[in-house]
Structure 1
Amino acid sequence: MTTMLRQYMRDVSPFLLVLVIISTLGPLQFGYHIAELNAPQDVISCRVPKSSSSKLAATFSSWTSHSSPNHASASATFPSCIPMNDAQFAVVSSMYNLGGLIGALAGGPISSTRGRLFAMRLTGLFFASGSVLLTLGTSITVMSMGRILAGVGAGASTVIVPIYISEVAPPRERGTFGAMTQISINVGILGTQTLGFFLSSESTWRWIFAIGIGIATLQILGLLVIPESPAWLATHKNVAQAKRILQRIRGRHYDIEEETAAWDSGTASPEEEPLLDDSQPPLNPPGPRRTSVSSKGSRNPGSHLGFFQVVRDPQYRPALVAAVGVMASQQLCGINSIIMYSVSLLNNLLPISSALLTIIVSAINLFTTIACSPLPDKLGRKTCLLLSIFGQGASALTLALSILFGLKILSAIAVLFFVAFFAVGLGPVPFILASEMVGPEAVGAVQSCCLGASYITTFLVAQFFPIINLALNKRFGGAGWVYFIFTGLAVLCGLFVMWRVPETKGKKDADEVWGRTRRLD
């Protein structure tokens, strides 16, 4: 342990920590915006007029009064709520995922052609403009546009930031730093849920969105002082500048020769390092690389395949199906039904405030993600996925039954276990698998497909969960029936993982994962 800590201290410079903190403000805002409507839902949609007695709410309310001396005029311009039924609120909520899909599909190509830094700065502008519209929104249309713009920034961030971190992190520490994306998402969720608990009142709910403007501004300013990815610069024929930046990131006395050897040979590629790689050897020595043997011949190590090339090639099709299926399973098992709708769903069903429970849920999500981050390396990716899926399925079944029979304590426990099991596998593993099941020439296209599937399924859950939940409750009476659906989906997702997803732990490359023959080029 002492040796590992000493190695970590040698590899990680203070400047690297600054880069990671600033870059992960993007994923943090992904989590912040995905949950921002949860706590204040009833207040925003004019269902429950509510005032808060908390000191924080009183402070923000006082600031609002001071900044708007003509209170009557301000109230007319910015109404205290926006009338919405369940379907309309679902539209506003799900627009975020539509924007996320657009951002995820566009983020990769922009970061490849214009650079990681340019793309991250662009996400900051989308976050800021989306937060402004949400803060000043007076109609469903304006709120929806704000959610779309924030979603574009979030979708692009989930593509770009993991790539940037993997390219600036030391080779030995990429697994550890790769987990920072998921951790920062959970920090954002916890932050917005906590603010929602204190600021969900008629006079203060807009401050939840206004704080998002502040975070986006901090991100934009921070991105003005951090450098471009050295790996991206090296692949665009700026090797000398790339080496200078990498030396600055690693520290003055760090030997970067072995890490940059491939740059001098002109064979390096930014996508050759997996997005969240935690299974590669400590350092990649220069020399011949292994490539897959397919019916179409071996791939050029510097080439990159597009989406349609990957879909048409039977060599990559099993990996594409497995990776997309796992990413879809992440959402179909129902985690966002808790993250996005827990306050309204669990209201009056639990022995404590549903908003307070949501804060506890978000905190558990954060800490279990941190605690469980070593498990995929110890138990295996597939084992963690199955444990997570069937654990969530059992928790969903328990939650459905406990709500139906009025077992409030059991309902609260089921919610907590639901989130904890998500952190075991479905949270981190889907982001790892794509880079381990295909070679470097196809990882970009497969990862884009995975994120596209994630946002589509998230959109479906956000759009139809409240509608289906309300319909089932009216049809059968009571509440909680929708979680029987998530139980069934968990069973189907578990069977899919058992039959179609290979174990990638300890495998050197994609050829070994799929049992293909290999040769040296």
Structure 2
Amino acid sequence: MPPGLRQCVHDVSPYLILLIAISTLGPLQFGFHLAELNAPQDVITCRKKSISTRITSTLISLTTSKSSTAARTDLPDCIPMDNAAFAVVSSLFTIGGLVGALAAGPTSSAKGRLLAMRITSLFFILGSLIETVASSIAVMSIGRMFSGVGAGAATVIVPLYISEIAPPKERGFFGVMTQVSINVGILGTQTLGYFFSYGSAWRWVLGAGIIVGAFQGVGLLILPESPAWLAANKSVTQAKRTLQRIRGDHFDIQEEIAAWRADGEVVIPEEEGLLNGADEETLLARRDSTTSKASGKAGTHLGFFEVARDPVTRPAIIAVVGIMFSQQLCGVNSIIMYSVSLLADLLPVDSALLTILISAINLITTVACSPLPDKLGRKTCLLLSIAGQGTSALCLAISILSGVKILSAIAVLFFVAFFAVGLGPVPFMMASELVSQEAVGAAQSWCLAASYIATFLVAQFFPIINQAMNERFGGAGWVYFVFAALAVLCGLFVSTRVPETKGKRDADEVWGRTRRLD
């Protein structure tokens, strides 16, 4: 067994694996709700009675002889809505996500990570319940908003919790689990949609969120509070007992508790890891920053608007916002959220089945490509990802217009695979590497806001622009010329305004500045 793997096995206890599995149910539901309306879109909006598959035809024949779900519950089989209305329903999830994400930091800092995660499970259950019984656009929108609040909060709290319970040497590895769980959620909901997109059975897809949320809520009853938060806010003794339980009875925790000061305050900043588990180097850098601050040597933290006004940090904020917009404007969520309806009758295989394959490839490539940013460099991975997605978008547009269905299917698969090379994991990673420690919290906030705003723009306007272009020029697929053009602009932005951070010790070295001495 390789030494690194042997050390990982030694550091990780079965109890820790259980804690990771339960806590990552939060990000899993982010992915679940992000993609839940994709497969059943045409059925929900009354355009079709079912998606055309042999499996759904068999299921329909088995259920039509008995009373339908709608008859038993007095709920309609579908909710009539046009593309604009459906876009609103879809995009309100991201608005709720922004609200939840911004509220999660202060809540988890003041009340603890565990309570904050339990609150997210309530939002997931309530949102899923409202969506499941919705009979109008307004009710469905409210449900999506509640689910979004839970999802946005989970993407902030869970990476922070994981970074505080994982062994220091494995924090980078476990930090990837957040993105992996999101992809698992996407794959799960796409699979359910393939089987239950007919009649009113789509409500079972949305109702599955209730079950996952309830399972998460029950599981959180056995989770302990973060030892780091306990040491900072309650009792160092209780924090030590909790940490020892997580690591195992025979594990030496002295090196970890050395980070806790005698008065019980922890030296890990509250802003740590808004959207992604930070790696070990980042954690150590932030810990050193906070320790020096406690000694009276560090400056104050810069605020949200201060970093944008400061000429020293402004280039970093521009870079952070730019790469977060690039992540979305290259078009990945046009596939994740709308592929089944968009690609119906345009591919050589059933679009719902292809979407499951897309989700599986997204999950596999995310895991497989996770070492690339450390090997090739952050900026290199971003440019490879943008170039790959732009080329795939161009091929997809041409193949749809020319009717080459097999090329369309291949282009869609590569479109999603290239996302995992750089645009998926790297933007969140760079947000804390482009700025000095006093600006990390504000940079993460800019990253967070840009992410949800860009996701909202794609979710809200993609269906509308797609329909308008198809009607204006005739045929389908024209919108992917737009994504190809946006990829060119994003590539130019990254190549000129985003520096490489791999191997750089701090923000001064990243930007080529002379280090400032206090």
Would you call these one fold, judging by a TM-score over 0.5?
yes
SS in 2 for 1:215: helix
Residues 512 and 78 of structure 1, relative CA distance in 2, 3 Å threshold: same
Shift of 1:164: 1.2
Residues 255 and 282 of structure 1, relative CA distance in 2, 3 Å threshold: farther
**Count of residues in correspondence between the two structures:** 511
What's the CA shift string for 1:347-372, capped at 9, x where partnerless? 11111001111011000000000100
Contact residue 56 and residue 198 of structure 1 kept, 8 A: no
Q: Counterpart of 2:5?
A: 5
Residues 416 and 280 of structure 1, relative CA distance in 2, 3 Å threshold: same
Q: Counterpart of 1:317?
A: 314
Q: Distance in 2 between matches of 1:190 and 1:55?
A: 19
SS in 1 for 2:252: coil
Structure 1 gaps, min length 5: none
Residues 284 and 398 of structure 1, relative CA distance in 2, 3 Å threshold: closer
Residues 108 and 281 of structure 1, relative CA distance in 2, 3 Å threshold: closer
- The structure 1 residue matched to 2:480, chosen from 464, 478, 483, is 483
Q: Counterpart of 1:24?
A: 24
Structure 2 gaps, min length 5: none
Point out the more displaced range, 453-462 or 254-263: 254-263
Shift of 1:161: 1.1
Residues 286 and 309 of structure 1, relative CA distance in 2, 3 Å threshold: closer
Q: Counterpart of 2:211?
A: 214
TM (norm. structure 2) is: 0.92
What's the CA shift string for 1:186-243, capped at 9, x where partnerless? 0000000000000001131100011110000011111111111112222225322222
TM (norm. structure 1) is: 0.92
Residues 305 and 66 of structure 1, relative CA distance in 2, 3 Å threshold: farther
Contact residue 392 and residue 490 of structure 1 kept, 8 A: yes
Q: Counterpart of 1:456?
A: 453
Q: Counterpart of 2:353?
A: 356
SS in 2 for 1:246: helix
SS in 2 for 1:326: helix
SS in 2 for 1:101: helix
Residues 342 and 267 of structure 1, relative CA distance in 2, 3 Å threshold: closer
Residues 304 and 116 of structure 1, relative CA distance in 2, 3 Å threshold: farther
SS in 1 for 2:337: helix
Q: Distance in 1 between matches of 2:449 and 2:290?
A: 30
Residues 325 and 484 of structure 1, relative CA distance in 2, 3 Å threshold: same
- The structure 1 residue matched to 2:387, chosen from 377, 387, 390, is 390
- The structure 2 residue matched to 1:465, chosen from 462, 465, 477, is 462
- The structure 1 residue matched to 2:119, chosen from 122, 128, 141, is 122
Amino acid at match of 2:166: A
CA RMSD, 1 decimal = 2.7
Point out the more displaced range, 272-281 or 201-210: 272-281
Q: How does 1:15-414 map to 2 (within 5 A)?
A: 15-50=15-50, 54=55, 58=59, 72=71, 74=72, 77-264=74-261, 266=265, 268-271=267-270, 274=273, 275-278=276-279, 280=281, 299-300=298-299, 304-414=301-411
Contact residue 105 and residue 271 of structure 2 kept, 8 A: no
What's the CA shift string for 1:288-322, capped at 9, x where partnerless? 87979xxxx9734xx54431333333332222221
SS in 1 for 2:108: helix
Q: Counterpart of 1:447?
A: 444
Contact residue 96 and residue 150 of structure 1 kept, 8 A: yes
Contact residue 267 and residue 290 of structure 2 kept, 8 A: no
Residues 102 and 61 of structure 1, relative CA distance in 2, 3 Å threshold: farther
Contact residue 94 and residue 459 of structure 1 kept, 8 A: yes
Residues 453 and 272 of structure 1, relative CA distance in 2, 3 Å threshold: closer
Contact residue 78 and residue 138 of structure 1 kept, 8 A: yes
